[in-house]
Amino acid sequence: MAQYAILIYERETPNGVADLPPEVLEAHMRVPEKVEELGGKILNAQATQPTSTAATIRGDAVTSGAFVQSEEALSGFFVVEARDLDHALAIGKLVPIVSGGVEVRPLLSE
Protein backbone atom coordinates (compact mmCIF):
# COMPACT_ATOMS: atom_id res chain seq x y z
CA MET A 1 0.00 0.00 0.00
CA ALA A 2 1.13 3.56 -0.65
CA GLN A 3 1.70 6.18 2.05
CA TYR A 4 -0.08 9.53 2.15
CA ALA A 5 0.12 12.60 4.35
CA ILE A 6 -3.27 13.86 5.48
CA LEU A 7 -2.49 17.49 6.39
CA ILE A 8 -5.01 19.33 8.57
CA TYR A 9 -5.34 23.11 8.17
CA GLU A 10 -7.47 25.21 10.51
CA ARG A 11 -7.74 28.85 11.46
CA GLU A 12 -5.40 29.37 14.37
CA THR A 13 -6.92 30.24 17.73
CA PRO A 14 -5.20 31.43 20.94
CA ASN A 15 -5.47 28.04 22.68
CA GLY A 16 -5.09 25.79 19.64
CA VAL A 17 -6.75 22.40 19.98
CA ALA A 18 -8.23 23.40 23.33
CA ASP A 19 -10.48 25.88 21.48
CA LEU A 20 -12.07 23.17 19.32
CA PRO A 21 -15.66 22.27 20.19
CA PRO A 22 -15.85 19.06 22.29
CA GLU A 23 -17.77 17.23 19.55
CA VAL A 24 -14.96 17.97 17.06
CA LEU A 25 -12.32 16.66 19.49
CA GLU A 26 -14.42 13.53 20.01
CA ALA A 27 -14.73 13.10 16.23
CA HIS A 28 -10.94 13.35 15.90
CA MET A 29 -10.57 10.58 18.49
CA ARG A 30 -12.81 8.32 16.36
CA VAL A 31 -10.78 8.79 13.14
CA PRO A 32 -8.40 5.83 13.76
CA GLU A 33 -11.32 3.42 14.16
CA LYS A 34 -12.98 4.74 11.00
CA VAL A 35 -9.73 4.49 9.03
CA GLU A 36 -9.42 0.82 10.01
CA GLU A 37 -13.05 0.25 8.96
CA LEU A 38 -12.12 1.64 5.50
CA GLY A 39 -9.18 -0.76 5.29
CA GLY A 40 -6.49 1.89 5.79
CA LYS A 41 -3.82 2.17 8.45
CA ILE A 42 -2.59 5.19 10.41
CA LEU A 43 1.19 5.11 10.72
CA ASN A 44 1.54 8.38 12.64
CA ALA A 45 -0.65 11.24 13.85
CA GLN A 46 0.30 14.46 15.61
CA ALA A 47 -1.07 17.88 16.41
CA THR A 48 1.35 20.76 15.90
CA GLN A 49 2.33 23.64 18.17
CA PRO A 50 1.07 27.12 17.16
CA THR A 51 2.78 28.95 14.30
CA SER A 52 4.30 31.33 16.87
CA THR A 53 6.61 28.46 17.87
CA ALA A 54 7.74 27.81 14.29
CA ALA A 55 10.92 28.86 12.56
CA THR A 56 11.19 29.35 8.81
CA ILE A 57 14.34 28.74 6.77
CA ARG A 58 14.79 30.42 3.38
CA GLY A 59 18.28 29.96 2.02
CA ASP A 60 20.62 30.76 4.90
CA ALA A 61 18.14 33.00 6.73
CA VAL A 62 16.15 31.70 9.70
CA THR A 63 13.20 33.74 10.96
CA SER A 64 10.91 33.21 13.93
CA GLY A 65 7.38 32.11 13.22
CA ALA A 66 5.66 30.69 10.20
CA PHE A 67 6.36 32.67 7.05
CA VAL A 68 3.49 31.51 4.84
CA GLN A 69 0.73 34.10 4.46
CA SER A 70 -2.52 32.27 5.14
CA GLU A 71 -5.62 32.45 7.29
CA GLU A 72 -5.23 28.75 7.97
CA ALA A 73 -2.25 27.06 9.58
CA LEU A 74 -1.09 23.47 9.64
CA SER A 75 -2.58 22.15 12.87
CA GLY A 76 -1.80 18.46 12.60
CA PHE A 77 -1.33 15.50 10.32
CA PHE A 78 -1.81 11.80 9.80
CA VAL A 79 0.51 9.55 7.84
CA VAL A 80 -1.59 6.70 6.47
CA GLU A 81 -1.30 3.66 4.27
CA ALA A 82 -3.96 3.50 1.59
CA ARG A 83 -4.56 1.42 -1.53
CA ASP A 84 -4.52 4.45 -3.85
CA LEU A 85 -5.32 8.17 -3.98
CA ASP A 86 -9.08 7.59 -3.99
CA HIS A 87 -8.74 5.49 -0.83
CA ALA A 88 -6.55 8.20 0.78
CA LEU A 89 -9.13 10.85 -0.14
CA ALA A 90 -11.86 8.77 1.52
CA ILE A 91 -9.69 8.63 4.64
CA GLY A 92 -9.06 12.38 4.47
CA LYS A 93 -12.80 13.04 4.38
CA LEU A 94 -13.06 11.41 7.82
CA VAL A 95 -11.08 14.24 9.44
CA PRO A 96 -13.42 16.73 11.14
CA ILE A 97 -12.72 20.35 10.18
CA VAL A 98 -14.15 23.48 11.81
CA SER A 99 -12.99 26.26 9.49
CA GLY A 100 -10.21 24.94 7.29
CA GLY A 101 -9.45 22.05 5.03
CA VAL A 102 -7.56 18.82 4.57
CA GLU A 103 -4.78 18.25 2.04
CA VAL A 104 -3.98 14.71 0.91
CA ARG A 105 -0.49 14.30 -0.51
CA PRO A 106 1.31 11.13 -1.62
CA LEU A 107 4.64 10.54 0.10
CA LEU A 108 7.71 9.63 -1.91
CA SER A 109 8.44 5.95 -1.62
CA GLU A 110 11.82 4.83 -0.36
β-bridge mates for residue 105, sequence order:
5
Domains of the chain: 2-106 (3.30.70.1060)
Whole-model pTM: value is 0.86
Query: Closest by alpha carbon to 71, among 13, 26, 6?
Result: 13
CA-to-CA dists, residue 76 to 8, 29, 67, angstroms: 5, 13, 17
Tell me the residue type at 87. Answer: H
- 46-64 per-position pLDDT tens digit: 988 888 888 888 788 888 8
- 63-109 per-position pLDDT tens digit: 887 666 677 889 999 999 999 999 999 999 999 998 889 999 999 97
Q: Which residue has the higher pLDDT, 16 or 100?
A: 100
